[in-house]
């Protein structure tokens, strides 16, 4: 098996398909060795593995081109991205969206409405105050959080589905698609492989957003095995495993992926849009299984904010399955 690592410093995410272990097992029974590449995109390590394709390297290369194209449109920090152009636009100026950004925003707003704002792409002004990647992170000032919250609310967005434009109703409103763009990119990359290399099987692990296609040649039913990370434990320590069939995706949101401690309190990166603070739902992680990786990505964040009872009900509205790990007190 060949691995091309363009990025080696990766933090294990909440859900990882046991890619290395599973592929090693697959290789022992498959007629040919699957091919795998890892690249850094969407602020994470993305691994695509393909087997039984006419040209696995070409399949992976084409899939990554899809990912890079989407990334260029939704990058929050790239001044030339569609997202940045919207964020810099004044109120009531309709900003035209490309097909990919439009689909992400449309689905995000659908989940926002269904969740009562537990998932909200306009939380960007608040998220800007939190720096979980700093070597010495500090708590944002409560006044600053309150001020930023005045710009948060999916109701401040108007999506014109016919003209494919997005408009903000107030200056200062910004969007961040980081909470769902990874799921969409994983989904579109999988679609590219399935449409152009239908004879193959593929495993796509985008920092924990996992999609599978085809049949696992080592499994009698063709399903793949995914492991759900044990919160706050070393990578590869699984709480449980699940089975995924072709076309399914699993996405996990966990409070241990990015966090810091201050005065005995854990502050994590899943922000509750209603408070501007990390969610306090009593959940360590929630994994969502759905045919759409984009929908699963949106739902996983919303569910973690809502908690087990309300989150499960929300996921069921979308026909999704949830797997919860409670936070131990």
Residues making up the binding site for Mg(2+): 179, 297, 301
Nearest of 288, 328, 324, 295 to residue 308 by alpha carbon: 324
- Spatial contact of 248 and 186, defined as CB atoms under 8 Å apart: no
Q: What is the 3-state secondary structure (H, E, C) of the chain?
A: CCEEECCCCCCCCCEEECHHHHHHHHHHHCCCCCEEEEEEECCEEEEEEEECCCCHHHHHHHHHHHHHHHHHHHCCCCCCCHHHHHHHCCCCCCEECCHHHHHHHHHHHHHHHHHCCCCCHHHHHHHCCCCCCCCCCCCCCHHHHHHHHCCCCHHHEEEECCCCEEEECCCCCCCCHHHCHHHHHHHHHHHHHHHHCCCCEEEEEECCEEEEECCCCCCCCCCEEEEEECCCCCCCCEEEEEEECCCCEEEEEECCCCEEEECCEEEECCEECCCCEECCCCEEEEEEEECCHHHHHHHHHHHHHHCHHHHHHHHHHCCCEEEEEECCC
Q: Please give the annotated binding residues, written as ranges.
A: 179, 297, 301
Contact yes or no for 265/255 (Cβ under 8 A): no
Q: How far apart are the first and last CA of the chain?
A: 43
Given a contact cutoff of 8 angstroms between Cβ atoms, the answer to whether 214 and 238 are in contact is: no
């Amino acid at each position: 098996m060949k691995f091309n690592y363009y990025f080696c410093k990766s933090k294990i995410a909440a859900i990882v398909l046991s890619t290395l272990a599973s592929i090693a097992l697959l290789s022992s029974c498959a007629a040919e060795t699957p091919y795998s590449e890892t690249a850094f995109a969407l602020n994470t390590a993305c691994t695509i593995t393909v087997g039984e394709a006419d040209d696995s390297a070409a399949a992976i290369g084409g899939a990554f081109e899809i990912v890079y194209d989407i990334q260029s449109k939704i990058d929050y920090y790239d001044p030339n991205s569609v997202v940045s152009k919207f964020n810099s636009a004044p109120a009531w100026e309709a900003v035209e969206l490309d097909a990919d950004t439009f689909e992400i925003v449309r689905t995000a707003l659908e989940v926002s409405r269904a969740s009562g704002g537990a998932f909200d792409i306009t939380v960007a002004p608040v998220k800007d105050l939190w720096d979980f990647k700093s070597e010495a992170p500090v708590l944002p000032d409560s006044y600053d959080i309150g001020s930023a919250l005045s710009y948060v609310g999916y109701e401040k967005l108007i999506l014109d589905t016919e003209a494919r434009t997005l408009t903000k109703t107030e200056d200062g409103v910004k969007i961040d698609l980081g909470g769902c763009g990874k799921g969409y990119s994983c989904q579109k990359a999988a679609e590219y492989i399935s449409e152009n290399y239908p004879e193959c099987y593929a495993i796509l692990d985008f920092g924990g957003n996992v999609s599978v296609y085809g049949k696992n040649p080592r499994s009698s039913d063709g399903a793949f095995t995914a492991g759900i990370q044990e919160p706050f434990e070393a990578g590869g320590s699984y709480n449980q495993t699940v089975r995924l069939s072709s076309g399914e995706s699993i996405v996990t949101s966990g409070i241990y992926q990015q966090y810091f401690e201050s005065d005995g309190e854990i502050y994590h990166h899943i922000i509750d849009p209603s408070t501007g603070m990390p969610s306090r739902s009593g959940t360590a992680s929630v994994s969502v299984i759905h045919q759409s990786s984009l929908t699963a990505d949106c739902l996983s964040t919303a569910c973690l904010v809502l908690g087990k009872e309300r989150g499960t009900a929300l996921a069921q509205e979308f026909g999704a399955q949830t797997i919860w790990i409670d936070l131990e007190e």
